[in-house]
Each structure stands twice: as C-alpha cells, then as structure tokens.
C-alpha cells in the first residue's frame, strides 16, 4: 500500500512538473535553457534593491524576485547595499534613484511611462527600473522580465517607454449569469454568486497578465447591458474586483443600460433631458464612487440592436452621452459611447449609418466623452476597410474598438493571429490632415491634440484553464495590449515576443511558428470571405458559412444583403452608382477604391458589384479567382498543419497535441467554407469549377440543411 502511494505521488509530481496547460500565458518564468545566456545573466544580475512599500511596488518586487529566481535558477537576494549586478526598482522621487537620472527624462514619462537604464554607482554596474508612479514601475518590471524571457542583451540598457494611448481597455461581453456573448473559452471568469467574499486567485493572475502588457482598464459587463449591475448588491461585488485590480493599475468600468432609471430607479422615463433622470444618474454615480473611488466610467450601447437609448425619447446621441458625462465629471469618470448603431427602419446602406448619425454632432460632446468606433464599418469581419468615422469628426475624440474574441474568425478553434488585422486598420491613411493622417494618429489623439484617448478590445477570455481555449488565441490578447501601448510595433515583432515567452527561444521554432502566425489571418480571409466578401456567416451564432440566408428578422442581418450575388455578378456597389458609401471617405481614399479596374482586390466586392467574367489582375476571371482564393485558404491551413507537425520535438506534448487537433478542425471547416460558398455562388455564375481544384464532397442542399442551435458564444 505504501509503495502504491509513493508511485502515485511520483506520477503526480512528474505530471505537475512537465504539464503545460497554458494557464501561465506568456508569464512563464522557467529556467533559461541556453547555458551561455544563463551564465551571462547570472553575472549581470546578483540582487535587487527595493525603494517603496505600496501594494503596487510590493507586487512589482514580488514579480521581479519570482521571475528572476525562476529564469536564472538561483535565489535572488533583497539587499539594502548596492553591489555589482544590483537591480534597483522604485519610483523616481526616491532620493537615491533621483540622483542617477536626468530630470528631463523623468518629466517625459508622465504617469505611466518608465525608464530601464544601466548605470554606475560607486563604480558598480547597476540596472535601474523607475517611473513617476508605482504602477509604471510595475510596467517596467514586466518589460525587464520580458527582455530576459526573450534572451535580449541587457548589458547596456537605455529604455524609455511611454504609452501612446491613455485608456487601454478590455471589454468583457460577460453576462451576470456567467454566459459570455461571443465567448468561446468557457463561462465568465467573474463568479458573481461568490463575490464579494470569495476572491479567486485567477482574478489576481488576470490582473498580472493585463499589467504585463500595459492594459489599464476592464469593462466587466456586456454591452447588451443588465441594469442590475448598478444596484448595491452588485456594486459591492464590483468593488471587490476593483480592490484586486487596483494593485495592478487596472480600473473597472461598467456598461450602463440607458433604461436603468426605469428598470431599477422607479422612474417613468429615461429621457436624458428630464431633470429627474439627470438627478438619478448623478446620485447613481455618487453611489458607485463611494464603493469604487477610482471607478473608470461607463461604456454605453444605445439605440442599436434593440438597446434603449436617447433616440427612444426623440433625443440625440449627444444628449444621452452628455447627461452621463455630467454625472461622472465630478469624479473624473469618462463615457465611452459606442458608434455601433444601425436601424432596420433606415433603408440606407448599413455601412453608412454610424457616420450619418455621428457626423452632425462633431464637437457637441462633453470633454469626458469618447466615441468608441469599431475598426470597420460593418462588424468585425475578417477584413474590412477602416471605418469612415476615423478622421471625419476632428472635434471629437474617437476610441478604437477591436474584437479580440474570434466571432467571425473561426471562433474558438481556428488559429488566427489578429495583429496583422489590427495593424492594417491602424496604419490606414485617412488623409484627413493630408498624407500620413493614419487611423492610429486619430485614435491616440495626436492628430487633433485631444487629452483623452483610448483603445478597447472585446475580450476572448473565459474560465477555461488556459484562459482562451485555443493556445494561439492568447497571442491576440497579448497583441492587443502591446499595440494599445505602442501602435508602432509590428505584427512580426509582437509575434516573436509572444512565441519566445509562451513556448521557446529556439530559433528554428520561433521562425517557423512566426511564419504560421503571420500567414494565418490571410488564410481565414481566403477560405471565408475573399476579395471583399463580408458578413456571409451563419446568422445568429455566426458559425460557419450561410451566404444563402435571406429570411432573418431584418434586412441587414441577411448575408444576401451583403454579397448581392445574381446572374450579372457579385458584390455591394458602394460607389456613386450604388449606395455611395465611398463619399464618406476623403477623396484620396475613395479614389483608391472607386474604380473596379484599379481597386485593391482585397476590397473589390466591398465596393463593387462585379461581373463573373470581370478580368482580375492575375488574368483570371472573377469566378476563377474566387475559386482560387477559396482553395488557397484551404491549402494554407494544410500547410500550417504540416509546419506544426514538424515542430513536435520543440514543444510539450500537451500543447502540441491541442494545437494539432484544433488545426484538424480548422482544415475541415475551411473545406466546409470553400465547398458551401462555391456551390452557392455557382448557382449564379453558372460556371464550372476550374480544373485542378478539389470538388465539394456534398451537395448544396446538404450544406444548407446544417443547423447548430447550441453553437457557443450566443450569450
């Protein structure tokens, strides 16, 4: 019996030491496996010196000690004296640190920037990590650990890093019953039933992970809001989370349901110009700040997809946003008012509606209101042109909204690295102030000198052990945070960092995985929505192809609304001969896309209804090119599978097999997309599939018959 227990214990210990379940994300502080690099770091880092005693600085100290001890495989001593190899961490006002740094450098940091610098003190080589605030010191500690995790040279450091965007926020579309709208990684991590008394350690690790990439805010609740979260019973629970996150520099925000004064306040109206309503919101804001002194503010979805809003009472978006802004202003809170609005009663192209509704109110919003705009004009598609509001309302700050969760990108099982998508939007030139007026400059406020700026990402996090279900989906959370801090970073650079921290620093492995990641977004575009097709996913759950659907509850929920395939051709005419959505862009932009013969073909069917025989740049007809793109998407997934299998010896078995199985699902679903879409569009083109391409293994009727009533993520 004793031997059996010992055997079981040894097995458990073995699994515990070898298993890689992904929980640690990119914060893996395992011993460096390159002895040459390990010896170099051990010579350069001998001890730490700590200045300060706040909870945040204590967290920074703990993170640094744990990280260094794990990576360097030695005990890191905390000392009060300066030695060769000392790492000094503390705020810049510390008397000793202040003497080692230039005042101008410190002034340039603001509240969140940090300095990491190699210096000398009494002829001893030291490394300083400092900033003007506790949380910025913590950011610097995470960056220093990242340098070591990724095997960078730390011999002569001179790093100054300041975030380009002020509010860097995750939007959780989590409901109070723990379902997650568009969530593919389990249920919500917020266990409202057990709060405020039970604090899951996952909340702390969530905060650590966000702080490590500079995220400084979290919206806890779904934009399709529930007013109950604003009641006392829930505010005490929100306060418990805020108390955890505060140490890591993260503010909490809540979604405000516009009808809350009626639903939980006992009023008969939620009219924003009604004095009783205004007073109710002011009192509610005062109450929230009593529980959460550093509460960030409200995110609001109003008059969109059935949500109540000011237009319900004949008022404007400015009326609604400004009322909430007045309630929050005494507490320095902000209102993030979403521009995702469209109406079934408005016959105009859905592409145009947000611009039409917000353009007239440019300059009419209070200074603590920021308009949150999706990256594209429709709805987080695999590829969209940048939203025409960017650059169009220069007197109003705009906040970017990306979707990290893969609602339209294969959901929880497809490997899709989203940084290229994010960068495509951020680098797009709006020409609003001439050449170089990029979306990034609109969002960071530099183009129009705004004091408020923001970037939001719809979170892909759930209670799955590895947080995001697909191991590579972690890279999208990571990439969002890094780009929100510094939008000048490149997609390859971010991928390189993430791979090295999450998997391995082995060059062959890093190079091959980076190729997979950088090819993955274009692959999903090709096997789902090539050449500018968009929103042809299954209605409701958005899982799988359904370009044939025409009976949804409203016109612009139907895929046929967007592709407009007929015997003459395919695509949505948004030129002057169609909806004229192109007129919402500056002429320098619209001129790039207005001619079907010169339009960038990745946007061709976004802006043009093109004949099936239209000659493409490749010399193929449109139909032939469409077939080629769908096949190319499938082939890309197969290539990804082949590359991954070749890396088996570089990675732990658990994550290797997990990704391998997900890639198998992705291949099957890419084939499904190709087959279903080409069979359907062939009913209009009347053209055969070109020779050499794989033929569908089922009929169109078979694909039309598929139903998925319990697909995840509906919330």
> So which residues are the catalytic ones?
305, 379, 407
Residue linked to tokens 């000690």 = 65
Report residue 633: phi and psi, to 5°: -60, -45
Nearest Cα to Cα of residue 417 among 351, 475, 497: 475
| Cα 585 to Cα 390: distance, rounded to the nearest angstrom | 9
Tokens 């709805």, residue located: 379
- The overall longest dimension of the chain from CA atoms, in Å, is 84
CA 93 to chain centre: 34
Collapse the DSSP code of 519 into the 3-class scheme (helix H, G, I; strand E, B; otherwise coil) and give the result: helix
Per-residue CA distances from 548 to 62, 271, 439 (Å) = 56, 41, 34
Which tokens sit at 551? 């009976």
DSSP state of 166: S
Residues in the chain: 715
How far apart, in Å, are the Cα atoms of 316 and each of 294, 308, 638?
29, 12, 51
Measured torsion, CA atoms of residues 71, 77, 79, 82, in degrees rounded to the nearest 10 = -50
**CB distance 700 to 545 below 8 Å:** no
CA atoms of 361 and 119, how far apart (whole Å): 52
Beta strands (DSSP E) in 211-259 are 217-219, 251-255
Eight-state DSSP code of residue 531: G
8 A C-beta contact, residue 471 and residue 455: no
Q: Residue 508: enclosing H or E segment and its boundaries?
A: helix 507-528
Helices (H), 47-161: 55-72, 95-98, 103-107, 134-149
Distance of alpha carbon 447 from alpha carbon 394, whole angstroms: 9
CA distance 640 to 645: 9
Rama region for 410: left / alpha / beta (φ>0; ψ in -120 to 50; rest): left
Helices (H) then strands (E): counts for the chain: 23, 16
- Any residues with CB less than 8 A from the CB of 26 and at least 6 apart, and which? 149, 209, 212, 474, 478, 497, 498, 501, 502
Contact 551, 354 (CB under 8 A): no
Cβ neighbors of 631 (< 8 A, separation 6 or more) are 674, 693, 694
Positions of E strands within 188-265: 217-219, 251-255
Give all strands (DSSP E) within 504-568, no chain letters: none
Q: Tell me how far apart the alpha carbons of residues 457 and 182 are, in angstroms, rounded to a whole number.
A: 13
**CA-to-CA distance for 355 and 277, rounded, in angstroms?**
28
């Amino acid at each position: 019996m004793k031997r059996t227990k010992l055997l079981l214990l040894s097995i458990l210990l073995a699994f515990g030491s070898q298993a890689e379940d992904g929980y640690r994300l990119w914060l893996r502080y395992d011993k460096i496996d390159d002895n040459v690099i390990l010896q170099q770091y051990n010579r350069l880092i001998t001890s730490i010196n700590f200045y300060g005693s706040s909870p945040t600085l204590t967290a920074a100290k703990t993170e640094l000690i744990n990280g260094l001890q794990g990576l360097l495989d030695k005990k890191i001593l905390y000392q009060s004296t300066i030695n060769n190899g000392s790492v000094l961490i503390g705020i810049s006002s510390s008397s000793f640190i202040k003497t080692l740094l230039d005042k101008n450098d410190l002034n340039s940091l603001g509240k969140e920037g940090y300095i990491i610098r190699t210096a000398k003190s009494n002829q001893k080589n030291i490394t300083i990590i400092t900033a003007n605030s506790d949380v910025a010191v913590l950011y610097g500690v995470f960056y220093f650990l990242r340098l070591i995790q990724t095997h960078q040279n730390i011999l002569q450091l001179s790093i100054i890093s300041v975030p380009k965007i002020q509010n860097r926020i995750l939007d959780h579309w989590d409901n109070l019953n723990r379902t997650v709208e568009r969530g593919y990684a389990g249920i919500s991590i917020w266990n409202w039933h057990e709060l405020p008394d039970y604090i899951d350690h996952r909340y702390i690790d969530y905060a650590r992970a966000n702080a490590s990439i500079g995220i400084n805010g979290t919206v806890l609740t779904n934009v399709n809001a529930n007013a109950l979260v604003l009641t006392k019973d829930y505010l005490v629970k929100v306060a418990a989370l805020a108390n955890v996150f505060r140490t890591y520099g993260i503010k909490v925000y809540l979604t405000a349901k516009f009808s809350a004064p009626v639903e939980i306040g006992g009023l008969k109206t939620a009219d924003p110009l009604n004095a009783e309503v205004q007073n109710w919101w002011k009192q509610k804001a005062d109450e929230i700040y009593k529980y959460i002194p550093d509460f960030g503010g409200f995110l609001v979805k109003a008059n969109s997809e059935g949500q109540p809003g000011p237009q319900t009472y004949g008022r404007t978006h400015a009326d609604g946003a400004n009322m909430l802004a007045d309630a929050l202003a005494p507490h320095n809170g902000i209102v993030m008012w979403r521009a995702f609005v469209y109406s079934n009663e408005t016959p105009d192209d859905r592409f145009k509606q947000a611009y039409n509704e917000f353009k007239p109110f440019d300059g009419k919003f209070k200074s603590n209101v920021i308009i949150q705009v999706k990256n594209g004009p429709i709805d987080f598609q695999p590829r969209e042109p940048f939203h025409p509001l960017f650059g169009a309302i220069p007197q109003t700050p705009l906040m970017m909204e990306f979707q990290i969760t893969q609602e339209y990108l294969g959901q929880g099982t497809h490997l899709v690295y989203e940084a290229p998508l994010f960068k495509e939007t951020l680098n797009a030139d709006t020409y609003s102030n001439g050449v170089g007026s990029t979306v990034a400059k609109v969002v960071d406020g530099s183009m129009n000198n705004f004091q408020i700026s923001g970037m939001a990402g719809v979170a892909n996090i759930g209670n799955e052990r590895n947080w995001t279900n697909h191991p590579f989906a972690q890279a999208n959370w990571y990439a969002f945070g890094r780009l929100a801090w510094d939008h000048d970073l490149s997609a390859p650079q971010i991928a390189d960092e993430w791979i090295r921290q999450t998997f391995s620093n082995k060059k062959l492995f890093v190079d091959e995985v980076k190729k997979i990641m950088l090819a993955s977004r274009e692959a999903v575009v090709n096997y789902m929505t090539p050449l500018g097709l968009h929103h042809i996913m299954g209605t409701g759950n958005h899982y799988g192809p359904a370009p044939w659907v025409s009976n949804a509850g409203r016109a612009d929920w139907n895929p046929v609304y967007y592709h407009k395939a007929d015997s003459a051709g395919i695509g949505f005419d948004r030129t002057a001969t169609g909806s004229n959505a192109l007129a919402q862009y500056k002429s320098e932009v619209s001129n790039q896309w207005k001619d079907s013969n010169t339009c960038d073909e990745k946007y061709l069917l976004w802006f043009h209804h093109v004949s099936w025989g239209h000659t493409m740049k490749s010399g193929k007809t449109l139909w032939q090119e469409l077939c080629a793109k769908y096949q190319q998407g499938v082939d890309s997934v197969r290539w990804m599978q082949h590359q991954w299998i070749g890396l088996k010896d570089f990675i732990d078995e658990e994550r290797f097999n997990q990704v391998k199985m997900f890639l198998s699902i992705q291949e099957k679903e890419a084939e499904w997309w190709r087959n279903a879409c080409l069979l359907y569009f062939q009913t209009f083109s009347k053209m055969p599939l070109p020779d050499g391409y794989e033929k569908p293994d089922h009929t169109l009727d078979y694909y039309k018959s598929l139903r998925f009533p319990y697909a995840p993520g509906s919330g």
